[in-house]
Structure 1
Amino acid sequence: MMHTFTTVLLTVFLFQGGADAQNPAKKAETPAPDLKQTSYLLGQQYGEGLSRDSIEIDLDEFIVGFKDGLASKNKLDQETTQKLMTQLRQYAMEKARIRREREMTENKEKAEKFLAENQKKSGVQTLESGIQFRVIKEGDGAKPTLDSRVKVHYKGSLMDGTEFDSSYKRNQPAEFGLRGVIQGWQKALVEMPAGSKWEVFIPADLGYGSRGTPNIPPNSLLIFEIELLEIK
């Protein structure tokens, strides 16, 4: 339902922006978007949000309500409106909770299956923590400690190949203290000699766990290419 509310907020923002643009005291800095395409986009995004959140609607009544909203009318009294909105929020939150729990379970099962198959591949080794790795290039430098500060290049992706972060694309190596990163990185990097490049497979409990991030689903296995450039 958060996607739906986000769409509503976007709609309000656009209409407010349009109202400001009509104020002669304010000069528009950019041209107004194409009316037909914008109208379609708002409808498409709202519909997609409702579908994603599994919110069923009566399309005919939705259109009536939409037109009434544009005309500043409401056939429902305030008490009924507030009651329905509360019910809808609760319903959507419950739907989202069930969907998230299902996603967490599915991702955990997929990760376990992936790791079980991956450990059979040539060159793949497993640390005591359960982290798997494959040496791409073996360095001959010292190994960092948890108190070290390191300089690395890296690329992070999900099991399906979706890339969620890359210092290579930014053309800028990352520098950080080991105690400030996820456990999976800590446990892998202290085993890496400087100059090494590894492919590292990190279970969710040593990554972002069940909480995930905006671009990493809950209970996701993380796959990193990590190049340890320097120990500070």
Structure 2
Amino acid sequence: MKKLSLILLTLLCVTVVYAQKNKKEKKSKSKVEVVAPKSLPEITSYALGVNIADGLKQNSEQLGITVDWEWIVRGLREAADGKSQFDSAKMSEAFAKLDSLVKENRDIKARKQKEFLEENKKKAGVITTPSGLQYEVITLGTGDKPTLESNVEVNYEGKTIDGKVFDSSYERGTTTSFKLSNVIPGWQEGLQLMPVGSKFRFYIPSELAYGERGA
């Protein structure tokens, strides 16, 4: 998915091949029966609902907007019944306000990213490449360096500029493998700087990552 904010990425280049909740919740006095979907229409409809919710959640977080789930469900149900409270003019007005809010949030994030990178490049040990990629060498390995045609295996943790982890192979407990030419430009450039066995920290501007669109 797309990320507007600067990505702080720590990568451990492992290899390169060329060519229940902890605490139990108290039981509620009133039991709520959970009904599972059984028929094909029920199963596919439920799956569509989950997919819509996942997409809305990710997009709202990345765009910096707040959604009210009760009203989303109500909107879906009323629209399905042909009883929407909004006509086309009201819908256009609502989305115009949303677009304005999204643009404002993007501008704020872009400004924060620029300020961060300007300060970060002044720190000892931080190297800035001509493309704008910034990195620190934590551990320098002794193996070969990959090329764009290489398949690489890495451990990594990705963070937004505010320190929020959005993806981590460490949390999943397994390395990630991919062809270097298939990933974002910041990874392509950065990983080619890393001999096998290295550990680098990358500061990847949005233009070398996921651009300005939210995820």
Look up the SS of the partner of 1:122 in the other structure. Answer: coil
CA gap of 1:163–1:53, structure 2 versus 1, over 3 A, is closer
Look up the SS of the partner of 1:199 in the other structure. Answer: strand
The structure with the largest alpha-carbon Rg is 1
2: CA distance between counterparts of 1:117 and 1:160? 15
User: Does the Cα contact within 8 Å between 1:53 and 1:92 map onto a contact in 2?
Assistant: no
Deviations 1:111-161 (A, max 9, x none): 110000001111111112110001111111111000000000000001111
Name 2:189's counterpart in structure 1: 187
Look up the SS of the partner of 1:116 in the other structure. Answer: helix
CA gap of 1:138–1:99, structure 2 versus 1, over 3 A, is same
**5+ long unaligned stretches in structure 1:** 1-20, 31-50, 55-65, 70-77, 214-232
Identity %: 38
1: CA distance between counterparts of 2:183 and 2:93? 37
Give the residue type in structure 2 aligned to 1:209.
G
Q: Of residues 196, 207, 214 in structure 2, which corresponds to 1:212?
A: 214
When the two structures are aligned, how many residues end up with a matched partner?
Answer: 147
Q: Shift of the alpha carbon at 1:85?
A: 2.9
1:92 aligns with 2:94: yes
Q: How does 1:131-210 map to 2 (within 5 A)?
A: 131-210=133-212
Q: How does 1:21-40 map to 2 (within 5 A)?
A: 28=35
2: CA distance between counterparts of 1:29 and 1:108? 44
- Structure with bigger RCO (C-alpha 8 Å, 6+ apart): 2
Look up the SS of the partner of 1:114 in the other structure. Answer: helix
Deviations 1:39-68 (A, max 9, x none): xxxxxxxxxxxx9479xxxxxxxxxxx9xx
Give the residue type in structure 2 aligned to 1:175.
S
1: CA distance between counterparts of 2:36 and 2:154? 41
Task: Please identify which structure carries the higher helix content.
Answer: 1
1: CA distance between counterparts of 2:133 and 2:35? 54
2: CA distance between counterparts of 1:101 and 1:193? 40
TM-score normalised to the size of structure 1?
0.57
1: CA distance between counterparts of 2:163 and 2:134? 17
Name 2:106's counterpart in structure 1: 104
2: CA distance between counterparts of 1:154 and 1:148? 17
CA gap of 1:106–1:29, structure 2 versus 1, over 3 A, is closer
Name 2:121's counterpart in structure 1: 119
Q: Shift of the alpha carbon at 1:82?
A: 6.2
